Amino acid sequence: MKKEEVQAIFMKILREEEDVSAGVAAIKTLLTVIENYKVSTVRELDLNLQLAVDAMRHCDQPVTAISSGCELFMRFITFAKLDTKSFEECEKIMLQRGNIFLDKLLEARGKVAKQALSFICDGCKILTHSRSRVVLQAMIEAIKANKRFEVFITVSAPDNSGEVMHKQLVAAGVDATLILDSAVGYVMEQVDIVMIGAEGVTESGGIINKIGTYSLGIAALELKKPVYVLTESFKFSRIYPLNQMDLPKEFKYLSNTLKSGKDLSKQHPLVDYTPPSYITLLFTDLGILTPSAVSDELIKLYL
């Protein structure tokens, strides 16, 4: 099994399925690896999967969701009792569990969106940041439930993914306004709630998201607006950043940038860390949690 092959599969999934996030795509890739690349021992399989994960991290895609998703996936499929069976049976079991995991994941988004629905009331103004499929789904659900609301969406430089989000919202029938990243402070007094997605949720209960989220959080705290984070549970990761500098480099910069050996202090980071004190609630498929409960859930997942 070669790295390039894995990467090819991964990129193919991403291209073909627009709706799929990087994390889900990564898990699908791993499932494909288990199916296609036959091995004879569990150990070998484990090694294969690790290699695959490593390959995907070097794909110029945001690494946060990939690493957390893959790690949880691995834990989940090996959680079964694999002692007394033959290897083929083990593999079957693992594949089965992998598919279950994936199905759960795909359902997760729907669950989260439904939970968020009750928080969107008629006439409310929502501020959101960059492109998040979960938030989009939540808003579409709200429209379907005949709620009237307004959305402010930031442009979110440098990749301007906010514009994509804006288009999708307008297409869904949402009254959406595109604003500059720098206009967040200006707009904050008009909005009622802030709803954002997350690329990763840390053990502290804070989130890792597109650069600009931290400023949004600070402005919201200052003007007493609640910040709701919509995220799936496979994005929970075990890292615990103490401050912005403490974030792992692989998260902040694309792998190409890291490889090229440029001076990282002159590069624009892709993500930032929002500490738990700026977050009001997290909407996850495990339930609506406070930031302090994230660690509890993580311990349940991992230990």
Partner 1 sequence: MKYLILISFIAFQGTEKMVDAENYLVQPEKPFTATQRRRIRRNRLRFAKTDCVDILCTINKIQNKTKNNPEQGHIAVIENNKQEYKVEDALRSVVIKDFDESILQKMSSNEIPPKSRDEIKAARQAKKAAKLKVNNKTTENPQLTKEIENLNENNINSKPKVESTDEVDKSVVINPNAVDISTSREQIKADRAAKKSAKQLKKKGAADGESNVQSSVKKELKEDDSVKQNEDMTVKDVVETLKNIVSVAKEVNEITTKVSALDLGGKKQEETGKSKAELRAERRAKQEAQRAAKQAAEQKVVKPKLEAPTVNVDVPKKEEKVIKSKTLEKSKTKLQLAQRFNWFQHLYTEFDKNPLKKIPINSNLHPAIVKLGVQLSSRVVKGSNARCIALLDALNKMVRDYVLPAKTEFSRGLESHLASSLEFLWTTREPCASQINAVKFFRHHLAQLPNNVDEFDAKKTLQEEIDRYIREQIEMAGEAISIAVRNKISNGDTILTYGCSSLIEQILCEAWEAGLQFRTLVVGSRVSPDAAEMLRRLCARGLPCTYVDFTAVNYVMKTVSKVVLGAGALLANGAVVSAAGTAGVALAARARNRPVLVACHTHKFIDSLYTDAFMHNQIGDPDDLLEKSDDNSPLKDWRSNLNLTPLNLTYDVTPPCLITAVVTELAILPCTSAPVVLRFKLSEYGV
Q: In the stretch 159-198, what mask flags binding to partner 1 with x, by CB under 8 A?
A: ----------------------------------------
Instruction: Give the shortest CB-67-to-partner 1 separation in angstroms.
Output: 16
Q: How many CA atoms within 13 Å lie on the side-chain side of 298?
A: 21
- Select from 114, 203, 254, 288 the one that contacts partner 1 (CB under 8 A): 203
Using omega within 30 degrees of 0 as the cis cutoff, is the peptide bond preceding 275 cis? no
How open is the CA angle 158-188-271, to the nearest 5 degrees?
30
Site for partner 1 in 6-25 (CB under 8 A): none
State how far the Cα of 138 lies from the Cα of 277, in Å rounded to an integer.
24
If binding is defined by CB under 8 A, does position 299 make contact with partner 1?
yes
How far is residue 292's CA from residue 277's CA, in Å, rounded to a whole number?
10
217 binds partner 1 (CB under 8 A): no
Region binding partner 1 by CB under 8 A among candidate stretches 33-41, 138-146, 192-200, 290-298 = 290-298
Residue 299 CB, shortest distance to partner 1, in Å, is: 5
- With CB under 8 A as the contact rule, the residue among 23, 200, 217, 276 that binds partner 1 is 276
CB count in 10 Å sphere of residue 266: 6
Return the residue of 17, 240, 259, 260 that touches partner 1, per CB under 8 A.
Answer: 240
- Part of the chain binding partner 1 (CB under 8 A), chosen from 26-34, 47-55, 63-71, 243-251: 243-251
How many residues contact partner 1, by CB under 8 A?
Answer: 17
How many Å separate Cα 34 from the centre of its chain?
Answer: 23
The token pair that represents 300 in the structure block: 């349940």
Task: Give the DSSP H/E element, type plus range, for residue 49.
Answer: helix 42-57
Nearest to 280, CA basis, from 217, 237, 208, 234: 217
Binding site for partner 1 (CB under 8 A): 203-205, 238, 240, 242-243, 245-246, 276, 291-292, 295-296, 298-299, 303
